Amino acid sequence: MIYYVSGPVTILEPGLAVIDCQGVGYGCRVTSYTAGQLKLNQPARLYITESIREDAHDLYGFISREEQRCYQLLTSVNGVGPKAAMSILAAGPQNFTLAVMTGDEKLLTAAQGVGKKIAQRIILELKDKIGGSSMELDFTAGPAVAAPAQQGAAALAHAALQELGYTPAEIANALKGVDPKATTEEMVRYALRAMVMKG
């Protein structure tokens, strides 16, 4: 299994980046989001998800593990293939996550090859998996205890954002200024927007 490839970018075309790993060029299919963060002849690291079929062996490369995880979640949904998943992630994993968390079908159907039914299925199947439902979050610190609603919402939002790969420091900065009376979903949406603006 190839976990990641690292080296200078020798070819950069729409949907394709070739990484030179000590003389071997690995051709990786990439999203517009990842391609936008690569520079020709500059070093880069791409996290790899392999797709092996009888007639092809494709490498899908992602600039972050967060983007890779979003791709893997998308392709786990029936009817969503690699091309559709890459198209959805063209605007970045944060925007995809925001669309699922808020049930924004229009953002998903803007991607090529994604119709309304597929968008609805993506939201239905993935909302819990990316932390959209407090019922699905697994807290390992111990048994649940009663807490004020505001504190509970903040804790769930923090856990959901950590599940997406953000550090506690990044989450704390993103949640500065959020309404303490907001719901978990509102807090996550606020933080993701703050991170998108910062990025």
Given pLDDT bands bounded at 50, 70 and 90, which one contains residue 5? very high
pLDDT score for 130: 77
pLDDT score for 193: 81
Number of neighbouring beta carbons within 10 Å of residue 146: 5
Given pLDDT bands bounded at 50, 70 and 90, which one contains residue 102? confident
pLDDT score for 157: 79
Given pLDDT bands bounded at 50, 70 and 90, which one contains residue 199? low
Mean pLDDT of the 11-31 span = 96
pLDDT score for 99: 87
Give the chain's mean pLDDT.
83
Mean pLDDT of the 12-37 span = 95
**Percentage of the chain lying above the pLDDT 90 cut:** 48
Mean pLDDT of the 35-41 span = 95
Given pLDDT bands bounded at 50, 70 and 90, which one contains residue 28? very high
pLDDT tens digits, 124-182 = 999 888 754 333 333 333 333 333 444 567 877 787 777 677 788 888 888 888 888 88
Mean pLDDT of the 77-90 span = 93
Mean pLDDT of the 79-92 span = 92
pLDDT tens digits, 53-83 = 778 889 999 999 999 999 999 999 999 999 9
